[in-house]
Amino acid sequence: MATSLNSLHDEVAERLRGVIFAGELAPGSWVDEVHLCEAWSISRTPLREALKVLSAEGLVRHEPRRGCFVNEVTEQDLDEIFPVIAMLEGRCAHEAASRASASDIQAMAVLHAQLQVHAQAGKIQDYYATNYLIHEAIIAMAGNKWLAMAIGDLRKILKLARLQQLNAPGRLAQSLHEHLAIFAAIQARDPQAAGEAMYLHLTRQRDALKSLRQSQSTPPVSPSIMEPPPTPQALAL
């Protein structure tokens, strides 16, 4: 009976993550337990157990006498998370460079060839998908379950922010260049270079996000009607 209950609340937790990551439950929104129980034909017990799991993961928060709310990721959160995940994934790349087999390198070469095709075609969503597979492959090559677990937990938090750093001007080409540097270091069996290249890759993602956020929040500047238009000489400068 306990196994069946655990299985059910794990299933509910996964379903709840899905609606959160899909944006059906937006950041800051209240989790309507009664509605979900009715919609999913479940009792309150597995839902509440699932909410405890998501609370431990940082996806929701419980407020006394108010219920559960989907967490919101702030700019400060991102500033604090990115150096940590950069350090963790950097360590993964370091270990992957030490452990990678010939077949691992061959599989990585195929993924990077796909990444280049997507970058050249400007297919950002396809690039994201292949980029994810590459990061997952590096984590798997590292063979460290504790690193994988810590990275997985942080990724869930970052997923709440629905980040689109590749939309920043020039970021797609820069990201490709960084990935090729990581792959070259792993291929050369150079752990230090691989770790440093991955750390740089993740910190530049944060820089790109900041740049994108600033460009979206800064209103365009219109010339004052009281000022004369710039002369051709001024434009040339």
Residue by residue, DSSP assigns 7-41 as HHHHHHHHHHHHHHHTTSS-TT-B--HHHHHHHHT
Q: What's the mean pLDDT in 13-36?
A: 89
The residue extents of the domains of the chain are 7-70, 75-212
Judge contact between 200 and 178, C-beta under 8 A: yes
208: tokens are: 């790109």
- pLDDT per position as a tens digit, 114-133: 999 999 999 999 999 999 99
Phi, psi dihedral angles at 72 (to 5 degrees): -110, 140
Q: Which CATH number is correct for 75-212, 3.40.50.180, 1.20.5.510, 1.20.120.530, 1.20.1250.20?
A: 1.20.120.530
Of the listed ranges 110-119, 175-184, 192-201, 210-219, the least confidently predicted one is: 210-219
Angle at CA of residue 127, ends 218 and 139, nearest 5° = 105
- Predicted confidence band at 187 (pLDDT cuts at 50, 70, 90)? very high
- pLDDT per position as a tens digit, 37-75: 999 999 999 999 999 999 998 899 999 989 999 988 889
Phi, psi dihedral angles at 61 (to 5 degrees): -130, 145
Residue 71 to residues 25, 26, 30, 86, 112: CA-CA distances in angstroms? Answer: 10, 9, 10, 22, 34
Fold of 7-70: Arc Repressor Mutant, subunit A (1.10.10)
